[in-house]
Amino acid sequence: MRRSIGGVIIQIYIGDITNLAVDAIANAANSDLWMGSGVAGAIKAKGGTEIETEAMSLGPIRPGEAVMTTGGSLPAKYVIHCAGMPPGGKATYWKVLSSVQNALNIASDHNLHSVAFPAIGAGVGGLTEQESAKAILTGVAHYAQEPHSVKEITLVGLNKYVCDCFSQALDEIEG
Protein backbone atom coordinates (compact mmCIF):
# COMPACT_ATOMS: atom_id res chain seq x y z
CA MET A 1 0.00 0.00 0.00
CA ARG A 2 1.29 3.44 -0.96
CA ARG A 3 -0.29 6.66 0.26
CA SER A 4 0.87 10.22 0.56
CA ILE A 5 1.09 12.86 3.28
CA GLY A 6 2.05 16.29 1.98
CA GLY A 7 4.23 15.05 -0.87
CA VAL A 8 5.84 12.27 1.20
CA ILE A 9 4.97 8.78 0.00
CA ILE A 10 4.11 6.43 2.87
CA GLN A 11 4.25 2.68 2.39
CA ILE A 12 3.73 -0.13 4.88
CA TYR A 13 5.95 -3.20 4.71
CA ILE A 14 5.63 -6.48 6.56
CA GLY A 15 9.00 -8.09 7.20
CA ASP A 16 12.53 -7.47 8.46
CA ILE A 17 13.67 -3.83 8.38
CA THR A 18 17.30 -4.96 8.01
CA ASN A 19 16.51 -6.26 4.49
CA LEU A 20 15.41 -2.89 3.09
CA ALA A 21 17.60 -1.08 0.57
CA VAL A 22 16.65 2.46 1.60
CA ASP A 23 18.90 5.41 2.38
CA ALA A 24 18.41 4.90 6.14
CA ILE A 25 16.62 2.62 8.55
CA ALA A 26 15.63 3.78 12.00
CA ASN A 27 16.72 1.88 15.07
CA ALA A 28 14.42 1.74 18.09
CA ALA A 29 17.20 2.84 20.44
CA ASN A 30 17.73 3.60 24.09
CA SER A 31 19.40 6.90 24.97
CA ASP A 32 22.74 5.21 25.80
CA LEU A 33 22.71 3.79 22.23
CA TRP A 34 23.86 0.27 23.12
CA MET A 35 22.15 -2.29 20.97
CA GLY A 36 20.62 -5.20 22.86
CA SER A 37 17.59 -7.11 21.61
CA GLY A 38 14.64 -6.42 19.34
CA VAL A 39 15.19 -4.15 16.33
CA ALA A 40 18.55 -2.95 17.70
CA GLY A 41 19.79 -6.51 18.14
CA ALA A 42 18.69 -7.45 14.61
CA ILE A 43 20.47 -4.40 13.15
CA LYS A 44 23.67 -5.20 15.05
CA ALA A 45 23.53 -8.89 14.11
CA LYS A 46 23.08 -8.20 10.39
CA GLY A 47 24.93 -4.89 10.01
CA GLY A 48 27.87 -5.53 12.32
CA THR A 49 29.07 -4.40 15.73
CA GLU A 50 30.68 -1.32 14.15
CA ILE A 51 27.20 0.24 14.04
CA GLU A 52 26.89 -0.03 17.82
CA THR A 53 30.46 1.14 18.38
CA GLU A 54 29.88 4.23 16.24
CA ALA A 55 26.49 4.92 17.86
CA MET A 56 27.87 4.68 21.38
CA SER A 57 30.68 7.09 20.47
CA LEU A 58 27.95 9.67 19.70
CA GLY A 59 26.08 9.21 22.97
CA PRO A 60 24.60 9.22 25.37
CA ILE A 61 21.75 11.35 24.05
CA ARG A 62 18.48 12.36 25.65
CA PRO A 63 15.31 10.33 25.03
CA GLY A 64 13.56 12.00 22.10
CA GLU A 65 16.81 12.73 20.26
CA ALA A 66 18.39 10.83 17.37
CA VAL A 67 21.85 10.29 15.85
CA MET A 68 22.99 8.76 12.56
CA THR A 69 25.68 6.15 11.89
CA THR A 70 26.78 4.20 8.87
CA GLY A 71 24.80 1.12 7.91
CA GLY A 72 27.68 -1.33 8.22
CA SER A 73 26.85 -4.44 6.17
CA LEU A 74 23.16 -3.55 5.82
CA PRO A 75 21.55 -2.79 2.45
CA ALA A 76 20.66 0.64 3.95
CA LYS A 77 23.46 3.21 3.79
CA TYR A 78 22.74 4.60 7.26
CA VAL A 79 21.08 3.81 10.58
CA ILE A 80 19.32 6.61 12.44
CA HIS A 81 19.11 5.73 16.12
CA CYS A 82 15.84 7.07 17.57
CA ALA A 83 16.00 7.19 21.37
CA GLY A 84 12.45 6.59 22.50
CA MET A 85 13.46 5.65 26.04
CA PRO A 86 16.27 5.62 28.60
CA PRO A 87 18.08 2.29 29.23
CA GLY A 88 15.83 0.05 31.30
CA GLY A 89 13.07 2.68 31.18
CA LYS A 90 9.89 3.08 29.22
CA ALA A 91 9.18 4.93 26.01
CA THR A 92 6.58 7.67 25.84
CA TYR A 93 4.43 8.88 22.96
CA TRP A 94 6.15 12.30 23.01
CA LYS A 95 9.69 10.89 23.12
CA VAL A 96 8.95 8.64 20.13
CA LEU A 97 7.33 11.51 18.21
CA SER A 98 10.32 13.76 18.97
CA SER A 99 12.87 11.09 17.99
CA VAL A 100 11.07 10.59 14.64
CA GLN A 101 11.07 14.33 13.92
CA ASN A 102 14.77 14.51 14.85
CA ALA A 103 15.53 11.48 12.66
CA LEU A 104 13.78 13.04 9.66
CA ASN A 105 15.61 16.34 10.19
CA ILE A 106 18.95 14.47 10.32
CA ALA A 107 18.00 12.62 7.12
CA SER A 108 17.18 15.95 5.44
CA ASP A 109 20.45 17.48 6.65
CA HIS A 110 22.20 14.64 4.76
CA ASN A 111 19.93 14.92 1.70
CA LEU A 112 18.52 11.41 2.15
CA HIS A 113 15.37 10.48 0.21
CA SER A 114 14.08 7.24 1.79
CA VAL A 115 13.79 6.22 5.45
CA ALA A 116 12.21 3.16 7.09
CA PHE A 117 10.82 3.13 10.63
CA PRO A 118 9.93 0.18 12.89
CA ALA A 119 7.40 0.48 15.72
CA ILE A 120 9.69 2.57 17.95
CA GLY A 121 8.89 2.27 21.65
CA ALA A 122 6.61 -0.77 21.25
CA GLY A 123 7.49 -4.11 22.81
CA VAL A 124 10.23 -3.69 25.42
CA GLY A 125 9.66 0.09 25.28
CA GLY A 126 6.23 -0.36 26.85
CA LEU A 127 4.06 1.47 24.31
CA THR A 128 1.32 -0.37 22.50
CA GLU A 129 1.78 -0.81 18.77
CA GLN A 130 -1.10 1.63 18.27
CA GLU A 131 0.57 4.32 20.42
CA SER A 132 3.87 3.84 18.61
CA ALA A 133 2.25 4.01 15.17
CA LYS A 134 0.32 7.17 16.05
CA ALA A 135 3.45 8.89 17.46
CA ILE A 136 5.50 7.98 14.38
CA LEU A 137 2.86 9.11 11.90
CA THR A 138 2.21 12.33 13.80
CA GLY A 139 5.95 13.06 13.56
CA VAL A 140 5.89 12.27 9.84
CA ALA A 141 2.83 14.51 9.31
CA HIS A 142 4.57 17.44 11.03
CA TYR A 143 7.69 16.86 8.92
CA ALA A 144 5.68 16.68 5.69
CA GLN A 145 4.18 20.15 6.20
CA GLU A 146 7.29 21.74 4.62
CA PRO A 147 9.40 20.60 1.66
CA HIS A 148 12.36 18.41 2.67
CA SER A 149 14.59 15.83 1.01
CA VAL A 150 12.88 12.71 2.42
CA LYS A 151 10.19 11.77 -0.09
CA GLU A 152 9.55 8.13 0.82
CA ILE A 153 8.91 6.64 4.26
CA THR A 154 8.42 2.93 4.84
CA LEU A 155 6.70 1.82 8.05
CA VAL A 156 7.84 -1.68 8.93
CA GLY A 157 6.08 -4.31 11.01
CA LEU A 158 7.29 -7.83 11.64
CA ASN A 159 3.69 -9.04 11.50
CA LYS A 160 0.30 -8.08 10.07
CA TYR A 161 -0.96 -6.71 13.39
CA VAL A 162 1.79 -4.04 13.55
CA CYS A 163 1.18 -3.15 9.90
CA ASP A 164 -2.55 -2.83 10.62
CA CYS A 165 -1.71 -0.43 13.49
CA PHE A 166 0.34 1.69 11.07
CA SER A 167 -2.51 1.63 8.55
CA GLN A 168 -5.09 2.65 11.16
CA ALA A 169 -2.86 5.51 12.42
CA LEU A 170 -2.37 6.67 8.83
CA ASP A 171 -6.16 6.71 8.34
CA GLU A 172 -6.51 8.85 11.50
CA ILE A 173 -3.79 11.31 10.39
CA GLU A 174 -5.38 11.72 6.98
CA GLY A 175 -8.66 12.52 8.76
> What are the residue ranges in the chain where pLDDT is below 50?
none
CA 12 to CA 92: how far, in whole Å? Answer: 23
Residue 62 one-letter amino acid? R
Read off φ and ψ for residue 152, nearest 5 degrees: -140, 125
Degrees to nearest 5, angle at CA 113 with 112 and 118: 90
Which residues, other chains included, contact 146 with Cβ-Cβ below 8 Å and sequence gap of 6+? none
At 86 the pLDDT is 94
CATH fit for domain 2-174, picks 3.40.50.880, 3.40.50.720, 3.40.50.1000, 3.40.220.10: 3.40.220.10
- Scored b (16 or more CB within 10 A) or e, 41-68 reads ebbbebbbeebbebbbeebebebbbbbb
What pLDDT is attached to residue 76? 98
For residues 31 and 63, is the Cβ–Cβ distance under 8 A?
A: yes
pTM over 0.95: yes
So what's the pLDDT on residue 142? Answer: 94
